[in-house]
Structure 1
């Protein structure tokens, strides 16, 4: 079954616009080929997550591995460890977990079953972030990382969002919105202070931000259709 079966006009236009922008940056500003691949596969990954499709993980395998390599060159060690040691192996875990919790329909094909986070779940999530953010920033500072507080915030929030994603919680998207905003700030600051031509990273995170807002709206809609419950 094609992953493009039930794509809306918005989804097609969204992907086309950011693809064209990436190709322009690659040609006009001498952007890196790896940056182009990371951005394109990353966009395919997140739009498929927003649609609740397992196929997102196959693009995620490529994106996370190459992104870790690029981030290493800029000394963003939090991003390196997050993507290389956390995101990359969890793509395979996600394929396994999501494949066990899907529902099929004639209109949308195969969707993942989604949940809503309870109040207790939110309390644990916020407490985990507070502890993890402080501890990880100090670790990054010790190993000579750059922009350690923003790097730590994006890393810890990303871990939380990824775990919520694996468990299929709709509120993952609210965390992803924060991750994407901070990541735009991180890469903008890094490229301005260190130089470099990986502008595709800014385009990618901007695309992720748009998608995260859409993802939240779409998962709420999917959840309402499924009779979503808090867990």
Structure 2
């Protein structure tokens, strides 16, 4: 496959095989398998800066919202059904408006980075909102409200950073994915549920988020280098 590294293909292959094994060996649900597989395709395409990630994201967010609802993870259900799902369409629109020349870069969109002040504002907003949302989830009878709340709030912020093309989204995704692994492990053990593909999916997301951060920082530097080179060439042409 063009522009795919051995790591990307290996990562996708290993977790796909694990999910298929769980589906047959442990009786995982078909909806869980679909959600997990489309989710993995979505995140690896995000890590590569490909707009096509959003098409798989539409399927994944819709199916995952339903699965989360059936387990009483109302924060996860609302996040995916009411926020992630519609934002897939916003992402398609915004990323298409900010494309880069694929002949000079391997990705689709221009990457940005946060300033120190923006990081400080982000942390303050995340802490305050997480406390308030945890209280709301407690009122409606949600399960694992503290973990669920932090995961949801950081996910919302990370998704906004994603559609705005900030590399730092991946730092938040690393935290979110780690929390989600804990959340689903506790939920499945307590409920006796069989959707272990959800746990595999979030583990795959964690691996990909680390790779995504490294790759997006690399993309940002490469795009800056290309931009600087093109600017220099333009000046030489004007001066000539």
TM-score (norm 2): 0.92
Aligned residue number for residue 105 of structure 1: 102
**Matched-pair contact (CA < 8 Å) for 1:187–1:201:** yes
* Counterpart Cα distance in 1 of 2:102 and 2:161: 24
Cα separation, 1, equivalents of 2:205 and 2:104: 26
Kindly indicate whether residue 36 of structure 2 is the aligned counterpart of residue 39 of structure 1. Answer: yes
The separation in 2 between residues aligned to 1:224 and 1:42, in whole angstroms, is: 27
Offset at residue 108 of structure 1 (A): 4.9
Structure 1 contact 114–170 (Cα < 8 Å) conserved: yes
Q: Given the alignment, which residue of 202, 209, 212 partners 1:205?
A: 202
Alpha-carbon distance between aligned partners in 2 of 1:12 and 1:172, rounded to the nearest angstrom: 23
- Residue in structure 2 matching 1:216, options 213, 216, 240: 213
Contact kept? 1:69, 1:80, Cα under 8 Å: yes
> Pairwise CA RMSD of aligned residues?
1.3
Q: Is 1:57–1:92's contact at 8 Å kept on the other side of the alignment?
A: yes
Q: Does 1:169 align with 2:159?
A: no
Paired residue for 1:64? 61
Q: Does structure 1 conserve the Cα–Cα contact (< 8 Å) formed by 2:66 and 2:77?
A: yes
Deviations 1:131-150 (A, max 9, x none): 11000000000000010000
Distance 2:216 2:6 in 1: 17
Q: After the TM superposition, which parts of structure 1 deviate over 4 Å for at least 4 consecutive aligned residues?
A: 107-110
Residue 139 of structure 1 is matched in structure 2 by: 136
1:192-215 deviations in Å (ceiling 9; x for gaps): 111110000000000000000000
Tell me the residue number matched to 1:73. 70
Deviation at 1:107, TM superposition (A): 6.4
Q: Which residue of 2 aligns with 1:124?
A: 121
Q: 2:86 aligns with which of 85, 89, 105?
A: 89
- Once the two structures are overlaid, the 10-residue window that deviates more, 101-110 or 126-135, is 101-110
Distance (whole Å) between structure 1 residues aligned to residue 199 and residue 15 of structure 2: 11
In structure 1, the gaps of 5 or more residues are: none
Q: How does 1:152-191 map to 2 (within 5 A)?
A: 152-191=149-188
Distance in 2 of aligned mates of 1:183 and 1:96:
28
2:6 is the alignment partner of 1:21: no
Count of aligned pairs between the two proteins: 226
Larger Rg: 2
User: How does the TM-score come out when normalised to structure 1?
Assistant: 0.95
Structure 2 residue runs of 5 or longer lacking an equivalent are: 228-240
More helix by share: 2
